Structure 1
């Protein structure tokens, strides 16, 4: 959505301040989702230990794998729900919808009397994330100037990672039953703050609500009296683009639209993107970070290491936020996937040899390697996942294709989070890391030859 023809891509421009404000508001819920994800890792160590568990029950390896994978099932349901409602009810309705399930997950955690409560809470955490990963990038892409769209959209993962860090810290240092009281403030603040935001102009134009679209456009453009002429010209340009898109969409979306050459190329890239994201192990590492450090032989406190990794995630995504609209998406993805592959190979080699000879002089190495792995993962594959995913598809199929891709991602999340602790337990950490390395390097090769650069791509016309 092109609001002002300017070479500046600063997020702090006066003319884009309400785009930044809206991005911050809608990402309150993604921050909360991150808190829910990060909460699990240190908590697992407590509820497996008889003298540390704050609950009336303990969990074993099977329950752990289900606790992890329920996030994927919830995400799948969130994806499907939003896919059905996004075009029918609008972006704002879908944004509001996420507050309820997120509040309920902390109520379940507080009152947990058996592991089923925790399963349900993780399911709702996944539902919130799955819904947010569809609607938030689309909402931001429709309000953002094309020159800062990448930076604003990448704030989704920055918010998630901030939340994960807070979740790590809270579950490490705060009492189990105190955390829900603090976390439930987030959906309340999120719901109230969303009252400030109008629906996106492109969606309103699709519904032939020109008056409201005009007001929305002025709000997100922060139009000043002296800019009336420029604003009118830009708004007319948007109206024309949407009208052309509507003419194209007058013919009902059919399966043939999904098998055009541009659509198939986009689906292929999205499939590899999803497979690389999950089988590189980066999301599994985040969920089971304390377990990984315990298995690596590191002498550092595992929860301290986990918190350090939480900080590194934020630095990595912040790096991608700064660079994405300067050097583009593709080169960051290539650096990320290659670095992940090499880092996982090195981590696997260290743990392999550490089991066979004395490497206590190098017991700091697992933390250093994991810092590199997580940083490189977050500058591209994690931090830019949703930026690239939304921008890959042609306009006509973008909403449906994005939803299909995120549904596929959710299935992969379920599979990888279910299998990762079992693979760690039965095959060992070295083989697990080498498997992740292979997936990362295959993804790198595909991206090298086939991933298009989408920097500056229009969101309302192909």
Structure 2
């Protein structure tokens, strides 16, 4: 078999848009502090707190629509075409910020950013799975997470050190470079095979395996075996789809089973653990928590730790197992929430001198982000892809991801008015309760899936 060079190049190219999405998330955490001040760059002046809630939360609506629309589009026009089309709304989102005249420009920009995010987390994993060799698939899949968290870190850095208008201008280069480089990559072998373009499918597989077009298939036994396996896999998929459609059409009752319930529950836990919501308001939380460290610097530290946590998760997920990592992650995240919420309560509601403990907000917030990034944030996506039966995997996954984006919208939207009403510490305590409740659920109902085939997992879950 040839080298994996072109597989890595493809994954790096396709995740340039992921980096651009991450920047929009991280930079906005700093930008909302500017909008909520007299130095607001908008001609209409300072943005109201309720409007800030919409600016941040509308990302979830865009993500929900992007999940459904681009997932459907990738099945109609192919992974490559759908992903290239995704770059257009990302470019428009940055232009809307650059030329913003009022808050409605920002609403539209954030909606389009969310649309791209929904597309990123649906289509890119499919494409990676369809071009990667088994021996490096896990490594290639981590590029998506690393690209997203790396982008968030760059967004934090840019928001602190660069002028407001400079960040979106610089960020435009990511979707432009993506289009320039990714256009030269072929469609995935599986999709080409699926659409009966057999010759193109073989050429694509040769490209991603770095095998000369002139080399005979029989000269490379490994490549010959993989090509045969690809054809067989497609044939079996067609056969199963025919059987399912003719003898057992999809019914509502197909979704009333343990795997689907676990998937939905874990995605709810993924959102209500507070990791994404608090990251979106990182700078604001630090400014309200009493920390003497600059909110921008604090957010940069958090972004770097989140990136490190995602990397640690990629290293450990196939060694320690999904369940062990999630139990550790949700427990540690909950404890970190309790520490931070307690400090904020004491600092804002008592006369206790906390001068010697001013490091606590940054330390506890950083610990929360790191521990959540090790399991609570990335692993539910892995579990969902592993436990759903073949019959409902496509629709079920889309539905569960839509739950995730809907909750993202709701939680991020209500967070500012909620902490203004009941206090920031109370909001964080609620995140902690969710984390501890999830730990109990994991211990009682979720099986370990490490090292098990999809059929073995379904047998364990007794799914029909």
Q: Secondary structure at 1:59's aligned position in 2?
A: coil
Query: Which of 362, 384, 389 is matched with 1:389 structurally?
Result: 384
Q: Secondary structure at the match of 1:256?
A: coil
Shifted more, 263-272 versus 190-199: the winner is 263-272
**Counterpart position of 1:7:** none
Match of 1:241 in 2: 233
Partner of 1:413: 408
1:118 corresponds to: 106
Aligned-residue CA RMSD in angstroms? 2.3
Q: 1:327 to 1:209 in 2, by over 3 A?
A: farther
Q: Secondary structure at the match of 2:376?
A: coil
Equivalent residue number for residue 40 of structure 2: 53
How far apart in 2 are the matches of 1:69 and 1:61? Answer: 12
Aligned to 1:9: none
Query: CA offsets, 1:364-409, max 9 Å, x none?
Result: 0111111110000111122334333333323443332222121111
Is residue 73–residue 126 contact of structure 1 (8 Å, CA) maintained in 2? Answer: yes
Give the Cα–Cα distance (whole angstroms) in 2 for the partners of residues 376 and 265 of structure 1. 27
Of 40, 43, 48, the match for 2:28: 40
* Aligned residue number for residue 399 of structure 1: 394
Native 8 Å contact 1:152 1:321 kept in 2? no
TM-score w.r.t. the length of structure 2 is: 0.90
Q: For residues 243-299 of structure 1, what are the alpha-carbon distances to aligned partners after superposition, in whole Å with 9 as ceiling and x for unaligned?
A: 1111011246576366448x8333222212211111111101111001111121111
TM-score (norm 1): 0.91
Note the 1:320-331 alignment, pairs <5 A.
320-331=313-324
- Unaligned segments of structure 2, at least 5 residues: 459-464
Name whichever of 288-297 and 439-448 sits farther off. Answer: 439-448
In 2, Cα distance between the equivalents of 1:410 and 1:39?
20
Q: Which residue of 1 aligns with 2:371?
A: 376
Report the Cα distance in structure 2 between the residues aligned to 1:284 and 1:116, rounded to whole angstroms.
22
Corresponding residue number in structure 2 for 1:288? 281
Residue of structure 2 equivalent to 1:256: 250
2:421 to 387, 402, 426: 426
Name the CA distance, whole Å, in 1 between partners of 2:55 and 2:173.
24
Gaps of 5+ in 1: 5-13
On the 8 A contact 2:289/2:361 being kept in 1, the answer is: yes
Distance 1:265 1:221, change over 3 A: farther
**RCO higher in structure (CA 8 A, sep ≥6):** 1
> Which structure 2 residues correspond to residues 45-444 of structure 1 after superposition, within 5 A?
45-50=33-38, 52-56=39-43, 57-223=45-211, 228-251=220-243, 256=250, 259-260=253-254, 264-355=257-348, 356=350, 357-444=352-439
Q: Contact conserved, 1:37 with 1:167, CA < 8 A, in 2?
A: yes
Cα distance in 2 for partners of 1:448, 1:460 equals 22
Distance in 2 between the 1:329 and 1:458 partners? Answer: 14
Distance 2:21 2:331 in 1: 28
- Size of the alignment, in residue pairs? 448
Q: Distance in 2 between matches of 1:130 and 1:448?
A: 30
Cα distance in structure 1, aligned partners of 2:155 and 2:119: 20
Contact 2:149 2:303 in 1 (8 A): yes
Structure 1 position 184, deviation (Å): 0.9
**Hey, what's the Cα distance between the residues in 2 that align with 1:328 and 1:156?**
20
Distance 1:87 1:27, change over 3 A: same
Structure 1 contact 337–381 (Cα < 8 Å) conserved? yes
Q: What do the CA deviations read for 1:53-89 (whole angstroms, capped 9, x no partner)?
A: 2222211111111111110111112112123212222
Q: Distance in 2 between matches of 1:258 and 1:26?
A: 36
Q: Would you say the 8 A contact 2:40–2:47 is kept in 1?
A: no
